[in-house]
Structure 1
Amino acid sequence: MSSLTPRLFVISGPSGAGKGTLVARVRAERPGLGLTVSATTRAPRPGEVDGVNYHFLDKDTFARLVDEGAFVEWAHVHGNCYGTLVSEVERNLDAGASLILEIDVQGALAVKERFADAVLIFIKPPSAAELRSRLIGRGTETPETIELRLANAERELALADQYDEVVVNDDLDTATAELSAIISRYEGN
Structure 2
Amino acid sequence: MYTLKDKELIFVFTGPHGAGRKTVAEMSGSTLDMKQVISCTTRPKRPAEVEGQDYYFLTPDQFAEAQTRDEFVELSTINNHFYGIRSNDIQRMFLTSGSIYLILNRFGAATLKKLYGDKVVRIFIYANRDILEKRLRESGDSDTDIQQYLSHYEEEMAYRDECEHAFENVDLAHTVFDLTKTLDRTLGRNLVDLD
State TM-score, norm by structure 2: 0.88
Are 1:113 and 2:76 an aligned pair? Answer: no
Q: Give 5+ residue unaligned stretches, structure 1.
A: none
User: What's the CA shift string for 1:63-107, capped at 9, x where partnerless?
Assistant: 222232211211012332111111111112244420111111100
Percent identical across equivalent pairs?
30
Aligned to 1:76: 77
CA contact (8 A) 2:73 2:85 kept: yes
Instruction: Give the partner amino acid of 1:114.
Output: L
CA distance in 1 between partners of 2:96 and 2:52 (Å): 19
Tell me if structure 2 keeps the 8 A contact 1:16–1:135: yes
Instruction: Quote the Cα distance in structure 2 between the aligned partners of 1:79 and 1:149.
Output: 14
* Secondary structure at 1:51 match in 2: coil
Q: Which amino acid aligns with 1:183?
A: L
Equivalent residues of 1:6, 1:187 under 8 A apart: no
Shift of 1:131: 0.7
For residues 26-84 of structure 1, the C-alpha deviation after alignment (integer angstroms, 9 at most, x for no partner) is 13323x31111111111111121111211001112112222322112110123321111
RMSD (CA atoms)? 1.5
Q: Is the 8 A contact 2:34 2:97 kept in 1?
A: no
Instruction: Return the letter of the residue paired with 2:68.
Output: D
Aligned-partner residue type, residue 188 of structure 2: G
Q: CA deviation at 1:122?
A: 0.7
2:193 aligned residue: none
What letter matches 1:82 in structure 2?
Y
Q: Secondary structure at the match of 1:158?
A: helix
Q: 2:59 — aligned with what?
A: 58
Q: How many Å separate the matches in 1 of 2:60 and 2:10?
A: 28
TM-score (norm 1): 0.91
The CA distance in 2 between the partners of 1:158 and 1:107, in whole Å, is: 15
1:102-133 CA distances to partner (integer Å, 9 max, x unpaired)? 111100000001111210111111x1111111
Specify whether residues 52 and 96 from structure 1 end up closer, same or farther in structure 2 by C-alpha distance, changes over 3 A only. Answer: closer
Structure 1 CA distance for aligned equivalents of residues 46 and 145 of structure 2: 14
Alpha-carbon contact 1:41-1:59 (below 8 Å) kept = yes
Shift of 1:175: 0.6
Alpha-carbon distance, 1:182 to partner: 2.1
Q: Which residue of 2 aligns with 1:45?
A: 46
Q: Contact 2:12–2:121 (CA<8 Å) still a contact in 1?
A: yes
